[in-house]
Amino acid sequence: MKTDLKTNFKAIIARAYVRIIAANREPSWWFSETLLPILSTAAYVYVYKALKAPPEYTGFVILGGTMSAYWIQVLWSMAAQFYWEKEMGNLDLYMIAPISRMSILLGMALGGIIQTTSRAAFIFLTGSLIFNVSFAVVSFPKLIAVFFLTLISLYGLGMLFSSLFMLYGREAWHGVTLLQEPVHLISGFFFPVRNLGFVVGVVASFIPLTLGLDAMRQLAFKAGAASGFINVNLELSVLAVLCVIFLVTSKYALELMEKLGKKEGRLTLRWQ
């Protein structure tokens, strides 16, 4: 069934509204999503201080801890959302609604970005003030471009994962849980990915946060370029390509998984 642009736009706004409003109705979520990440980030900071690492490593950790909020949000509030909707019996309603499934995901992404940015900003500002992080931004336009390209490609990856969750449910959930900590390692959340070697860095580059974090560190810190993985301009280009790849692939994957799910009857709880 074809739908007009206006209807899909309303669906995007409606789905984003739920994310933004609901996220602020439970005060305890602020504790788990801000203070707890600061504690884990602080642990890495004190390890570097004990090892007498260069001062910029403190900034690397703070930036990594800030961006990890987006990664967690993409995994559990974006990719896994269709699984939760199936659990609550809402997935059938999504399937029969006269809108594109991509509009639902775009609404989730938009609301998720706004919701997570408030948490990430708190982590970043608090960590920077507590540990007295010094920044030396080389180029604000490039830094902003890297940030937004990283988010777009990251949420595109989340949309791609959502098709797997929609069809496989709990199996995909266990797979993501298993890979969560290895991704933290190979993406260089708390240290420059360059230390893992070129081959591992190239493989990890398929995860947008790898190149996004590396580029932001090179652009935000005086000694960031010395520990960078590859040239910032090349990282910008790769991130732009990843945006297109993940968004286009997620659209076709979602359509394929929806058809397969309807054919095999996997869109309801009786298959769980």
pLDDT in tens, 139-182: 889 999 999 999 888 888 888 877 777 666 666 667 677 777 78
Size of the chain, expressed as the number of residues it contains: 272
Residue 269 has pLDDT above 60, yes or no: no
Selected residue with higher pLDDT from 179 and 272: 179
Selected residue with higher pLDDT from 20 and 33: 20
- Which pLDDT belongs to residue 240? 93
Give which of 148, 156, 146, 152 is closest to 234, Cα–Cα: 146
Least confident of 31-45, 110-124, 170-184: 170-184
> What percent of the chain clears pLDDT 90, i.e. is strictly above it?
8
Q: Which residue has the tokens 């269709």?
A: 82
- Which pLDDT belongs to residue 267? 61
- For the record, the structure tokens of 265 come out as 């009857």
Residue 41 has pLDDT above 60, yes or no: yes
The pLDDT of 22-29, averaged and rounded, is: 67
Local structure of residue 133 (DSSP, 8 states): -
- For the record, the structure tokens of 134 come out as 């010094």
Selected residue with higher pLDDT from 46 and 119: 46
Compute and round to an integer the Cα radius of gyration of the chain: 19
Helices H, strands E: what count in the chain? 12, 0
CA dist., res. 127 & res. 61, Å (int): 9
Give Cβ neighbours of residue 216 (< 8 Å, ≥ 6 apart): 63, 67, 143, 146, 147, 150
Q: Give ∠ CA 42-54-138 in degrees, rounded to 5.
A: 95
> What percent of the chain clears pLDDT 70, i.e. is strictly above it?
85
Torsion angles phi and psi, residue 26, rounded to 5: -120, 95
- Which pLDDT belongs to residue 101? 76
| Residue type, position 113, single letter | I
Q: Which residue has the tokens 């499934």?
A: 101
Q: What is the DSSP string of 238-264?
A: HHHHHHHHHHHHHHHHHHHHHHHHHHH
Give which of 47, 44, 64 is closest to 214, Cα–Cα: 64
Selected residue with higher pLDDT from 111 and 32: 111
Handedness of CA 220, 223, 224, 226 (dihedral sign): positive
- Which pLDDT belongs to residue 272? 44
Q: What is the dihedral of CA 95, 98, 100, 104, to 10 degrees?
A: -70
Residue 70 has pLDDT above 90, yes or no: no
CA dist., res. 146 & res. 175, Å (int): 29
Residue 263 has pLDDT above 80, yes or no: no
pTM: 0.81
Residue extents of the structural domains in the chain:
5-271
